Amino acid sequence: MKVWLILHVVGVVMLLGNIVTAAFWKARADLGGSVEDIYKTVRGVMVADYFFTVPGVAMILISGHVMADKAGYDLLSWNWIGISYMLFILTGVIWGVLLLPLQRRMIKEAKRSLSSGRPNNEYRRYSAIWNVAGIFATLLPIAVLVLMISK
């Protein structure tokens, strides 16, 4: 059981660590205004998602499900674990439906903006939507973390 718990905690650290640092570096690049920095950063955010977010999510889901099953929890009940699953799924929907497509568009628009030296309006629009969706996609897993710890 301890191996599953360690995998679970490592997955949580990978997920939350990546989404918080991605937001920090993207905000920093956007505030700096250098299109080259913005382009490198939004590309880096996408790469980091594949190296940290995706494996972190897989580790969380697999280890969490195994531990819940071994502990006899009903995963579909209205308790801390059912609510956690619901919030985690909602986070995944936000990430898959909004954030990933927006990241691809931001990369494309940042690359287009390199010749002008400043971010174009499309990049700014996609970035603003990404920022708002990203807040929700960050707060929801933090709420799950609070539920997990306080159980």
| Domain assignments of the chain as residue spans, ordered by start | 2-150
Q: Which residue in 35, 145, 125 sits closest to 80, CA to CA? A: 145
In 35-70, which positions are buried (b, 16+ CB within 10 angstroms) versus exposed (e)?
A: beebbebbeebbebbeebbeebbebbbebbbebbee
Q: How far is CA 86 from CA 82, 102, 111, 123, 148, in A?
A: 6, 23, 36, 31, 13
Please give the pLDDT value at position 76. 78
pTM of the entire predicted model: 0.90
Q: Quick: pLDDT tens for 72-97.
A: 988 778 888 999 999 999 999 999 99
pLDDT, average across residues 46-67: 95
C-alpha torsion sign, points 97, 95, 81, 79: negative
